[in-house]
Each structure stands twice: as structure tokens, then as C-alpha cells.
Amino acid sequence: MKIQLALDRLSIEEAIKIAGQAEKFIDIFEVGTSLIKEYGIVSISRLKEAFPDKLILADMKTMDNAIYEFQLCFEAGADMATVMGVSPLQTIETCLEAAAEHQKKTMIDLLNTSEEQRTALFPYTEAIFCDHVSKDVQEKSGLHNTASATFDPSLQWAIAGGITGESIQTMAGPLPDIVVIGSAITKAPQPEKAAEALSEIIERKKAESHGSA
């Protein structure tokens, strides 16, 4: 279970500062959608320059114009980029082709996808699938990702949406490959301490999972 740190609603400088504080415990730095929208593709380049040895995910949430957007991300230094699962399959396939060409990865965001759409997407086994509860749903309805979804162990999975140490502790069944954590670290008084605590919870959860396997 890798930790992906979502850097959102920050300036580039703030994102780099927080990332630096938490770096020791983070596997993937996510350049959040709001960061890219406010500051442009340069935000991806800046994070990759600051952390050349870390995986960088560009949360583009691509819906169309896939080849252009994904090439922008990969040329800027991203190792992974996101496409929305509700996009046309042609868009999904274009993203996967662009990622393969650059030897990078595609994350498919399953936000608001129907069961029918998910069934159509799951054959793309080279992708990482992200089970995502949106920020607006969290704020309007008070719902968070409880990590209760059943994951197909043959696929690569991530979970996102208000993830906390408590929600990780209560996970049941197969564990996701990636846990996307934002505010629990970025809004903590001491991001490094928060990241360390979450990392320890994940290690304990992994040990429990191996012990019960």
C-alpha cells in the first residue's frame, strides 16, 4: 500500500514545502487538479524538479483531447496522469496509448461511473483504477471513502476521498495498492508527523493482512 500525497488548493511553493516535510513517508506526489488549473503545467515540472526521485502524478482529470493533455504531462515530468472513467472509451484508450509510448502510467478515476462503465473499463488491466469520493460530496454530504469497496486483486487499485488513519484501520478485504491522502497530511500542524503516523498505520494494516492471509 503506497501513500500518494494529494497537493491541492495550495501555491506551488506551499506544495513543495509540505512535500519536503513529508517526503520520507510518501511514495507518490500528486500535483492536484487545482494546482494545475491555477498555475499550469509548470506546477508539474516544479514538483518533479524538487523531487526527481519520487513518482509524480498529474491529476489532470482528462475528459477529452487526451493525446495533447497526456503528452503535456509526461513532457513536464509526470510519471502518471489521470483520466476520468466517464470519458469515451476512445479517450481512455488514447491515454493508455500515450502512457505506454512514454513508459508511464494511467490512473482511471472512477468518480461517478456506473457499474456498466466500470465493467467496460476493467479489461484495461495496465491502468490503475481509483475509487474516489469527490470533495463536493465530502463537504455537502459528509461522506468519505470508507475503503469498503471490494477490489479485484488482479487489478491495480487506489482509493481517494477524505482518507484518514481511522478509515485505513477499518479496511476489510484486499488492500488497495495506493492510498491517496490529502488534508490529513497537508492541513496537519506538522505534516511530517502526520505522514509518519499514517505510514505506521499502513504498515500495521499490511502486517495484519499478511497474518490473516
The C-alpha atoms of residue 106 and residue 92 are separated, in whole angstroms, by 9
| Average pLDDT along the chain | 91
Q: Domain range holding 197?
A: 2-212
Angle at Cα 185 formed by Cα 48 and Cα 72, nearest 5°?
25
Q: Report the pLDDT value the prediction gives residue 37, as an integer from 0 to 100.
A: 97
Alpha-carbon distances, residue 123 vs 108, 114, 119, 195 (angstroms): 12, 15, 8, 34
**Sorting pLDDT into bands at 50, 70 and 90, what band is 139?**
very low
Q: Report the pLDDT value the prediction gives residue 209, as an integer from 0 to 100.
A: 76
pLDDT of residue 57 exceeding 50, the answer is yes
How many domains does the chain divide into?
1
In this predicted model, which residue has the larger pLDDT, 139 or 97? Answer: 97
Q: Report the pLDDT value the prediction gives residue 153, as an integer from 0 to 100.
A: 82
pLDDT of residue 179 exceeding 60, the answer is yes
Give the mean model confidence (pLDDT) for residues 25-54.
98
**Sorting pLDDT into bands at 50, 70 and 90, what band is 53?**
very high
Angle at Cα 156 formed by Cα 93 and Cα 8, nearest 5°?
80
Range with lowest mean pLDDT among 10-24, 74-88, 160-174: 160-174
Supply the DSSP string of 147-185, one letter for each residue. S-PPP-TTSEEEEESS--HHHHHT--SSPPSEEEE-HHH
Q: In CATH, what number is assigned to the domain containing residue 200? A: 3.20.20.70
Q: Report the pLDDT value the prediction gives residue 101, as an integer from 0 to 100.
A: 97
pLDDT tens digits, 116-126: 999 999 999 99
Which residues are within 8 A (CB) of 1 and not within 5 positions of it... i.e. 6 or more apart? 175, 176, 177, 178, 179, 202, 205, 206
Give the mean model confidence (pLDDT) for residues 47-60.
98
